[in-house]
Amino acid sequence: MKKSSTALWAAAITLPALLGFAPISASAQTAEPTLSKEDKEASAKIYFERCAGCHGVLRKGATGKNLEPEATRKLGQPRLEKILGLGTEGGMPNFDDILSKDELKNMATYIQMTPDTPPEWGMKEMKASWKLGVAPDKRPTRQMNAVNLNNVFSVTLRDSGEVALIDGDTKKIWTIIKTGYAVHISRMSASGRYIYVIGRDGKLDMIDLWMETPAVVATIKTGLDARSVDTSKFKGYEDKYAIAGSYWPPQYVIMDGQTLEPLKIVSTRGLTVDGAYHPEPRVASIVSSLIKPEWVVTVKETGLVKLVDYTDVKNLKETTIESAKFLHDGGWDASKRYFMVAANASDKVAVIDTKDGKLAALVDTKPKPHPGRGANFVHPKFGPVWATSHLGSDVVTLIGTDPEKHKDSAWKVVAELKNHGAGSLFVKTHPKSSNLWADAPLHPDRDMAESVSVFDIANLDKPAEIINVAKMAGLPETKAIQRVVHAEYNEKGDEVWFSIWAGKTDPSAIVIIDDKTRKMKNVIKDPKLITPTGKFNVLNTQHDIY
Contacts of residue 194, Cβ cutoff 8 Å, sequence gap at least 6: 188, 206, 207, 208, 209, 217, 239
CA distance 276 to 247: 19
Please, what sign has the CA dihedral across residues 352, 356, 357, 359?
Answer: negative
DSSP state of 150: G
**Which residue among the candidates 92, 340, 448, 472 is catalytic per the annotation?**
92
How far CA 18 is from CA of 22, 26, 37, in Å, comes to 8, 17, 16
Residue in 184, 278, 370, 379 annotated catalytic: 370
| Ramachandran quadrant class, 382 (left: phi over 0; alpha: psi -120 to 50; beta: rest) | alpha
- Check if 390 is active-site: no
Q: Is 370 part of the annotated catalytic residue set?
A: yes
**Phi, psi (5° rounding) for residue 90?**
-80, 0
Active-site entry in 54, 126, 448, 472: 54
Q: How far apart are CA 514 and CA 517, in angstroms?
A: 6
Largest CA distance in the chain: 66
Question: Given 1, 55, 184, 448, which residue is catalytic?
Answer: 55
Half-sphere exposure of 203 (CA within 13 A, CB side): 24
Cβ proximity of 422 and 372 under 8 Å:
no
SS (H, E, C) 263-302: EEEEECCEECCCCCEECCCCEEEEEECCCCCEEEEEECCC
Rounded to the nearest 10 degrees, what angle do helices 101-110 and 77-86 cross at?
Answer: 120
Whether 184 is catalytic is no
Residue 449 DSSP SS3 = helix
Q: Which residues pair with 375 in a beta bridge?
A: 387
Active site residue 406: no
Catalytic residue among 113, 126, 278, 328: 328
CB atoms within 10 A of CB 355: 13
Per the annotation, the verdict on 255 as an active-site residue is no
Question: What DSSP designation does 36 have?
Answer: -
Omega cis (within 30) before 326: yes
d(CA 177, CA 161): 9
Please answer whether residues 531 and 158 qualify as being in contact, where contact means their C-beta atoms are separated by less than 8 angstroms. Answer: yes
Catalytic residues: 51, 54-55, 92, 328, 370
